[in-house]
Each structure stands twice: as structure tokens, then as C-alpha cells.
Amino acid sequence: MAKDKKLVESITSMQEDFAQWYTDVVKKAELIDYASVKGCMVIKPAGYALWENIQHELDRRFKATGVQNVYMPMFIPESLLNKEKDHVEGFAPEVAWVTHGGQNELQERLCVRPTSETLFCDFYKNDIQSYRDLPKVYNQWCSVVRWEKETRPFLRSREFLWQEGHTAHATAQEAQERTEQMLNVYADFCEEVLAIPVIRGQKTEKEKFAGAEATYTIEALMHDGKALQSGTSHNFGDGFAKAFGIQYTDKNNQLQYIYQTSWGLSTRIIGAIIMVHGDDSGLVLPPKIAPVQVMVVPIQQQKPGVLEKAKQICSSLEGRFRVKADDTDKSPGWKFAEQEMRGIPVRIELGPKDLEKGQCVLVRRDTREKYETALDEVVDKLAELLDTVQKDMFARAKAHLDSHISDAADYEAFKEALDKNPGFIRGMWCGDQACEDKIKEETAATSRCMPFEQTRISDVCVCCGRPAKKLVFWGKAY
Amino acid sequence: MAKDKKLVESITSMQEDFAQWYTDVVKKAELIDYASVKGCMVIKPAGYALWENIQHELDRRFKATGVQNVYMPMFIPESLLNKEKDHVEGFAPEVAWVTHGGQNELQERLCVRPTSETLFCDFYKNDIQSYRDLPKVYNQWCSVVRWEKETRPFLRSREFLWQEGHTAHATAQEAQERTEQMLNVYADFCEEVLAIPVIRGQKTEKEKFAGAEATYTIEALMHDGKALQSGTSHNFGDGFAKAFGIQYTDKNNQLQYIYQTSWGLSTRIIGAIIMVHGDDSGLVLPPKIAPVQVMVVPIQQQKPGVLEKAKQICSSLEGRFRVKADDTDKSPGWKFAEQEMRGIPVRIELGPKDLEKGQCVLVRRDTREKYETALDEVVDKLAELLDTVQKDMFARAKAHLDSHISDAADYEAFKEALDKNPGFIRGMWCGDQACEDKIKEETAATSRCMPFEQTRISDVCVCCGRPAKKLVFWGKAY
């Protein structure tokens, strides 16, 4: 059992080195492995099961709003990528180019999709003719490629998995409504399922998506005080429609341009789950998203009846909960460490003494509190406990978020807050990109969003002192 | 309603031109659209919903056998692809090559995965150390790219969606068992869910997968008498393990090579559904896989109570069935044609006269038989009818298959059977590839498989007359 000690000792503490802690957890919880191509990752069963649960839950919420899934090709001809000026400028520097098919050089090189606006536009151009064809509310689950220089598992990789929704509407208003609707789907999903509280707001011109009229974002706060953009929703207006010539005939037989949106959420969100909830023993998963919610661990399993009872409890919980029993020949201590590393929300311990008393012990992963529970009450207590864990995890994350939001009226206060209480700084902004640039250069903080709930905490810009236009959440970000 | 007529007339009859009929159905049933990159397709909502149902049902069956899902990168470095000799020879001529990332030329070019054996091997090499790490039973759902010259929607496209399972075992026997197990999962899925009867067997050396020790296949027969390879399962023995150096320490502390399998089923199967069940009015979908199982069509919907009742029936069926009501202002004739084109298994017609009688009319898509049904019996009758349709579709496909299997004792009989009753020809084979080559060159038929159920229908090879070794199913194939 030399390996036993190693597991516990194998991860760096958050306090010591947060970045290293993150990398350690990702590896030791067996979420990913590195691949032979630099910056790409192998998503292992424990990581992929998380993504499957995320997909399942999000897809259900999408479909409830009328979304239909489709699949677009992964290749974009260079000429197609070039059609919308801002878009190509934003993406061309970081795409992978296919130049050969088999032995032959291609006549036109193809990029591997970094995002699929241009493909959907090309499709909509033929598919949409009349107002009867609108709206189109399409989505795809796929992988995309962005040739990043610096990469980190889940947070920034050359290939990642995501969903990208692409919609087409008859009116600007409908497009705006859909843009906000999907942002709210993301926000509700994060808060209700992942127990991650988020700030909802609009990106500034500088930070918006290449080709968008407006970008909306949900921003989450990690344990180290850095922000993570966790999902975005873009209103394109009729910009892409004009660049691609996508028109429909309205009820009065007039040609009109369509209005479009897109919205995406990626495997990056797994990084958020790790950095919002994790601790020095590894992952801590919210029950609603955990691939395994309960691990039954027999103690002194060689004693008569223990293993049988453990398996019996496991069987009785199946169907109602996602449950497993660890009947390997590892020591209980090793099993505990493993279950904790993997973030399994509740452990059920059962030994000979428990058997005598007709009980078992439920142990929460998040607080490690233990509850002696009569065997005939396990189902009810467990349901209650998982519910409590989910709520408590959200409450703790919310308390962390709230206590890491500082208000700053001037630049000195801004810098001090960033230094003393890393997190979001609420500061007024004049609307000039020069101030965003200056703040970024001098403090490494960026404008995260202009929150939907605007209040006026000062009359002047936190950077330049000129009249303020907008309240902005600032922060260092992943 | 000029469009009305067009839909019915818009598809070529099967009799006239089967290939054109196929293309017409694929387009008019709105399964796919062509994309800007030649040979790639856009899978539209009706097509993707089919794939989602296939995924859901197969994934459930996989997991019941212990499969875990993972995700491997889409890129394979050239040096990695080159590691297994037969494999690279089979795939290198038809891969797409990435040569540039952003503005920079890559040091080593990367191919977009045509299949992922090499990636899994590279991963297993590090991940598998001890017998305790075995078996690995992994699968991924993804897209792959093969730079084909001739392409057809679903049947052969440059990019397609599939699942690829890749397993690693301690013994050759376990690998063989898994190979056969997964072939049977495919076969049962095709027969039970898609209502497509299949022939199970082993591929000859000539037809096996590049790098495999043995390839097993399920072969289905299309309406035009051509075969479609519908799923394959490969036993690699320790060939890849030796090429990649994948070893584990066994219980006696000895280094051993692992044994591997892989198995895949792709969107190609949608082509099989179309060509096995379709007719001159379009798609005919088996109820178990149909995205919409029942379409409620109101007749004279402007008459009081009709539309309301139609919607009420629809609501009462939701949850139990996948049901929709067509309340658009199209004519009933147009709605019928659309429902038939899309292959929706049952239509419920409801008009003012039905309302008076407290009934509706159930119409089967496959036979067009009508059943007047009391409104309070709809749920039970519908459940029964869908079940009957599923069974009858399988029975019809099975009868078609059985009546298109001919036995041939010599080469003249072989050619005559192929000409007079296109389908599978059962003929004995000497085991020499020269005979396969000759038959292919002269008749365009290939060896589809050596069926698991071997019988001896003659003592000599159907081609050369030398002593026979194996019974082979021969046929022209997609």
C-alpha cells in the first residue's frame, strides 16, 4: 500500500501553488491525460462522464426552448472563412490548415472549424427562402480547434468539445430575445446543476466576439480569485446576413435580411467545476452532475457478512442514485482517498460494528461530516443529504463570490482591491477602450462584463476620472 | 398548393433509377444538405434526430457490457500513424493532412483521424502498466475523415460520424470474446431496433481491416439487391501492441503484450435504413428509431372543434409516444405527403365526421392500411399498432433477404444468379485470393463474409473448382 500514501501526498496544496494544484487534480482524479499532439488532451472516462452529464442536462434544457440538433462539416474553405471581415481577423491567426487530401494538394486550403458561424451562414443562405422558414434554432455538439500557444487542460486546449447554437430570425428583436434567453439557460444551468454562481452581463466592444454586434457572458469566480468566462451568447444583428447575402421573402413579398445569434459552452466548464469546488484532497463534485454520487466502502470486508451487506446496500440504491461499491482488495484508507480525489459526493462506510447496530455511516465529501444512519433509512437520508450537499455547495460558492467583489471609486482603490482581495472589482467606466487597455497593461485585469443589473457606484471612470457611463465587473481571468 | 404536387412527383421511382431515388429521398426527407466542401454533408434536424436515437440506443447497449466513453484528439502525428505497417498502408492514401497552425508551418504534419487505433495505442502504452489495469473497454463518439474520391450521402462521405470502440485485454481469448460480443451487439441492435436483418460472419484476408488479425462484419441487403457492410468488429491480436510496445506486468511479474480489439458503426447505417425500408413515397422508419412516431393530422381543421381535438389527442399521447400534431395551414393532402416522405410510422387523421362518431383513423406508413379507432382506445391501439409495424417491417425485410440469397455450385450458376436475382450468392471458396480477385473483376461481386453458420453446399470452389474450404456470402456492395 505504498501507493496509498502517494495519492494523498501527490497533489500540491492550493495555498502553495494553485496552478500546480489544478494540474495535479486533473491528472490524479483521472480526468485527462496529455496526448502526443502538444496542447491536445485525452479525456478519460471520469472526465468524459462529467461531460456526458453536462451534455444531457444542457441538451434537455435547449430542446425545451425549441432547439434542434444538426451537424455541420468540420472543414471551412478559406474563401468562406474570409467572408465576414471582423470574424476572419479574429480567428484566422489561430486555425489549423488542411492543405492535402491523400497524396494531392488541395486547390483551396481548408481550416478545421474554430467555430461554425460561416458554415451555418453558407447553409442558411440556401435553406432560408421565406418567412415560413424562420426561425431556425439549430445547435451542434462537436469539437473545435484553435491553435493556441499556451495551453492548459480544459481551460485552453488546441482542440476542445463544446456545443454551438446558431439561430436565424426574421426580426432584430427576436434575435435579441434568443441571445438573452440562451445566456439565461447557461446561467441557470451553472447555478442549479453545477452549483456555480455567475455574474450575467454584456461584454465591452473590446472583449466581444469577432463579428458580433453584442456579446453576453456568464462569469464565474474561481477559488484563487480569478474569473472564468463560462458561456457566451452573441447577437450578430444582420451583419453576417449582409456579408453572406442571406435574405428571406417576408409576408409582403419583400426581401429582408435575417438576424442571427450564436451561443456556446465548452469543456472549459469542467475547469470551473474543479476550481470552484475542489479542495486539497481533490475534486468535489456537485451531486447533480457527479457521474458517481455514492460510493459504498466496506470496512474489514473479510469479516463475515460485510461485503455481502455492502453490495446489498449498493443494489438497493441503484436506479434511484448513481452508486457503486468498492469491493477491491485495497485498504479502506486508500479507498477513501480515491473516493475523495474523484469528488464523489457521499461515501457510505459499513463495517462489522455497523452491521451489529443495523446501521451504516454516511460521509459527505464537501464537509467530511459523518452521519450514523439506520440501514432502513438510508434511501431517504441519502436523498436528503445529496440535496443538502448540492445546496450547501452553491451557498459556499456564492459566499466566496460575494466576499470577493470589491467596489472601487478610483484607480488607487482599484489597484489596492485587486491586490488585497483578488476577485471581481466593481468600477465605473467612461466607455473608452483606452482605459480598458491601460488597466489591462498595468494590472492584468480585464473588463469581464457590464452586468445586467447596473447601479451607479460613482460618477466618474475608475481609471481616467472622466464621466462614467457603465458599471463594469473587472478582474484577472483565465 | 402547387408545391403539394411537387413533393409527390419530386422523387424518382425506385424501379426507374434506384440511385436517384436514394438521393431524392435523402434530400426531400430533409435528412441532409450538401456542404461547401465537396464530399461533406450537413446533417439536418430530421437526419440528426435519427442519429441521436441510434446513439442513445447503442450507447445504452454498450454500457450494459461495461463500455466507458472517452475522447481522443482528432489529430494524429504522421510518425504515430506510421507505426503499424499494414494500418498506415491502408489509411495513409486517404487522409487529410494539417500542415499549418495559424501562420506557422508545423514541424510534423498531422492527419485528421480516419480511425483512432494509433491514438488509443499511444494512450494505452502509458496508461496500462499492470494486469490490474486490464481490461480497458473504451469507446468514443466522434467524426472521422477519409478523403474519398466518389462520395454519396451517408454511404461514403469525406467526413462521417461514428463510434469507435477500442479495447485492451490480458489474453487473446478475452479479445476474441469481446470482438464477437460487440458484433452481436450491432447485429441485435440492427434487427431489434432498426428492423434490418443481417448476416454475421468473418471477412476474408483480402477484405479485413488494415492491421487486424480478423475482422467480423454484419452485412445487410438493400432493396436493389446490393449489400451494405453495416458494422465491423476487429480482433488485432497483439499486432498493434508489438508495434507500439504496449506491455503489462502479469500476476507472475512477467511482461506481456496486451491484446486489442476495435469496433465501429457509423452514420452509414442511416443509408441502410433508407434503402431497406423506403418506398416510392419516401422514407419508412421503424417505430423504435423514428424521431416522430405519430403525426396527428386534422382534416377540415377550420370546422369547430377539430383542431382542438387534434391537439388534445396529441397531448394525451405525449410522454408515451413521440408525437406531433400538424396544425399548419397546409392542405391535408400536402400534410400526408410530407408525413409519408419523412417516414413517420403512423398518422392519425381526425375530421368533423370522425368527431361525430367519437373516433379517429390510424394509418400505417408501411402498408397504408387504415384503422377506425374509438377515441378512448387510441393509446392502446397505437401501442399495439407501432409494435405490429416494427415486427412487420422486420418480417418483410427478412423475407426480402431470404428470397435474395441464391446458392451457386459453379461459376456459371454464380453469374446467372447474380444477374437474375441480385442479392447474396452463397458459394464455396478455396481460400485463394486469386478467386476473389477474379470474381470481383468479372462480376463486380466481392466476398461479403464467411458466415458464422458454415454449411457445405458443394465440395469445390465456386470459381476455380479446386477443393473448397469455406462457405462465403458473395454480392455486389455499396
**CB contacts, 8 Å: B144 with chain A:** none
Percent of chain B exceeding pLDDT 70 equals 98
Report in angstroms the alpha-carbon separations of A209 from A166, A182, A217, A408: 14, 16, 10, 27
Candidates B72, B101, B142; nearest CB to A96: B101
Centre a 10 Å sphere on the Cβ of residue A254 and count the other Cβ atoms it contains: 10
- Could you tell me the pLDDT band of residue B3, with boundaries at 50, 70 and 90? very low
- Pick the residue of A38, A91, A112, A139 with the most B CBs within 10 A to test the interface with B by mutation: A112
Which pLDDT value is given to residue B5?
54
Q: Percent of chain A scored above 70 by pLDDT?
A: 98
Instruction: Locate the chain A residue with the closest alpha carbon to B45.
Output: A70
- Confidence band (pLDDT; 50, 70, 90) for B381? very high
What was the pLDDT predicted at A5? 54
pLDDT digits (tens, 9 = 90+) for B250-295: 999 999 999 999 999 999 999 999 999 999 999 999 999 999 999 9
CA atoms of A389 and A368, how far apart (whole Å): 11
At A86 the pLDDT is 87
HEC string of B366-394 equals CCCCEEEEEHHHHHHHHHHHHHHHHHHHH
Residues of A in contact with B122 (CB under 8 A): 35-36
Summarize pLDDT for B131-154 with one digit per residue, the tens. 999 999 999 999 999 999 899 999
Q: Could you tell me if A409 lies within 8 Å of chain B, comparing CB atoms?
A: no
Q: Residue B454 burial by CB count (10 A; 0-12/13-18/19+): exposed, middle or buried? A: exposed
CA A83, A84, A89 angle in degrees (round to 5)? 110
What is the reported pTM? 0.96
Whether A260 has a pLDDT exceeding 60, the answer reads: yes
How far, in Å, CA of B476 to CA of B61, rounded? 31
Which residue from A101, A126, A161 is facing B71, i.e. has the nearest CB? A161
Spatial separation of the C-alpha atoms in residues A346 and B68, rounded to whole Å: 22
- Give the residue from chain A lying closest to B71, CA to CA: A43
Q: Each residue of B340-359: pLDDT tens digit? A: 999 999 999 999 999 999 99
DSSP string, B43-82: E-HHHHHHHHHHHHHHHHHHHHTT-EE-B--SEEEHHHHT
Bridge partners for B215 per DSSP: B234
Q: Kindly report the CA angle at B244 between B241 and B247, in degrees rounded to 5?
A: 50
Nearest Cα to Cα of residue B360 among B381, B343, B340, B389: B381
| Omega before A135 within 30 of 0, i.e. cis | yes
* pLDDT confidence of residue B1: 37
Half-sphere exposure (Cβ direction) of A410: Cα atoms closer than 13 Å: 2
Q: Given an 8 Å threshold on Cβ–Cβ distance, is A73 in contact with B44?
A: no
Neighbouring residues of A420: CB distance < 8 A, sequence distance ≥ 6: none
Chain-chain contact of B142 with A145 (C-beta, under 8 angstroms): no
Chain A nearest-CA distance from B36, in A, is: 7
Q: Grid coordinates 461584454 are at which residue?
A: A203
> Rounded to whole angstroms, what are the CA distances from A37 to A42, B29, B93?
10, 40, 21
- pLDDT bucket at A84, cuts 50 / 70 / 90: confident
3-state secondary structure of B476: coil
Residues ≥6 apart with Cβ < 8 Å to B232: B183, B203, B209, B215, B216, B217, B218, B263, B264
- Residue A368, sorted as left (phi over 0), alpha (psi -120 to 50) or beta, turns out to be left
B242 to chain A nearest CA, in Å?
19
Specify the pLDDT at position B160. Answer: 97
pLDDT at B75 over 70: yes
Q: What is the pLDDT of residue A419?
A: 95
pLDDT at A248 over 90: yes
A323 near A293, Cβ under 8 Å?
yes
Residue A329 has pLDDT above 70, yes or no: yes
Using the beta-carbon criterion (under 8 Å), do A37 and B77 form an inter-chain contact?
yes
Assess contact for B110 and B96: CB atoms under 8 A.
Answer: no
Q: Do A99 and B99 touch (CB under 8 A)?
A: yes
Kindly identify which residue of chain B lies nearest to residue A138, measuring between CA atoms. B45
Encode pLDDT of B211-227 as tens digits: 999 999 999 999 999 99
CB spacing of A98 vs B97 below 8 angstroms: yes
pLDDT band (50, 70, 90) for residue B6 = low
Q: Among all residues of chain A, which has the CA nearest to that of B53?
A: A69
- pLDDT on residue A3: 45
Q: Give residue B284's pLDDT.
A: 98
| Total residue count of chain B as it appears in this document | 478
Contacts of A114 in chain B (CB under 8 A): none
pLDDT at B4: 47
Structure ipTM: 0.96
Gap between the Cα atoms of A226 and B78, Å rounded: 38
Interface test with B, best of A97, A108, A167 (most B CBs within 10 A): A97
Task: For residues A446 and A469, give the distance between their C-alpha atoms in angstroms, rounded to a whole number.
Answer: 17
B209 pLDDT more than 50: yes
| Polymer length of chain A | 478
Does residue A68 carry a pLDDT above 90? yes
Evaluate whether B429 touches B462 at the Cβ level (below 8 Å).
yes
Among A172-176, A286-290, B328-332, the least confident range = B328-332
Q: How far is the C-alpha of B138 from the C-alpha of B120, rounded, in Å?
A: 9
Per residue in A115-152, pLDDT (tens digit) is: 999 999 999 999 999 999 999 999 999 999 999 989 99
Q: How far apart are CA A60 and CA A70, in angstroms?
A: 15
Looking at residue B78, its pLDDT comes to 95
Q: Please check whether residue A333 touches B, CB under 8 A.
A: no
Average pLDDT for residues A247-275, to the nearest whole number? 98
- Mean confidence (pLDDT) of chain A: 96
Measured in degrees and rounded to the nearest 5, phi and psi for residue B228 equal -130, 120
The shares of helix, strand and coil residues in chain A, as percent rounded to the nearest 5, are: 40, 30, 35
Whether the per-residue pLDDT at B412 is higher than 80: the answer is yes
- Tell me, rounded to whole angstroms, the distance of Cα A59 from its chain centroid: 14
Per the prediction, chain B carries an average pLDDT of 96
Query: Count of CB contacts below 8 A, A vs B?
Result: 151
B-proximal residues of A, 26-55, CB under 8 Å: 33, 35-37, 40-45, 48-49, 51-52
Residue A9's pLDDT is what?
72
Average pLDDT of B173-197? 98
pLDDT of residue B85: 86
Report the SS3 class of residue A403.
coil
- Nine-digit cell string for B247: 506491455
Provide CB contacts within 8 A for B388, sequence distance 6+: none
Using the predicted structure, report yes or no on whether residue A6 has a pLDDT greater than 80.
no
Residue of A35, A29, A43, A50 whose CA lies nearest to A286: A50
Q: What is the pLDDT of residue B10?
A: 81
pLDDT average, residue stretch A192-220 = 97
Contact A99 B95 (CB under 8 A): no
What sign for the dihedral angle of Cα B285, B286, B287, B291?
Answer: negative
Query: Which pLDDT score, from 0 to 100, does residue B87 have?
Result: 85
DSSP A474: E
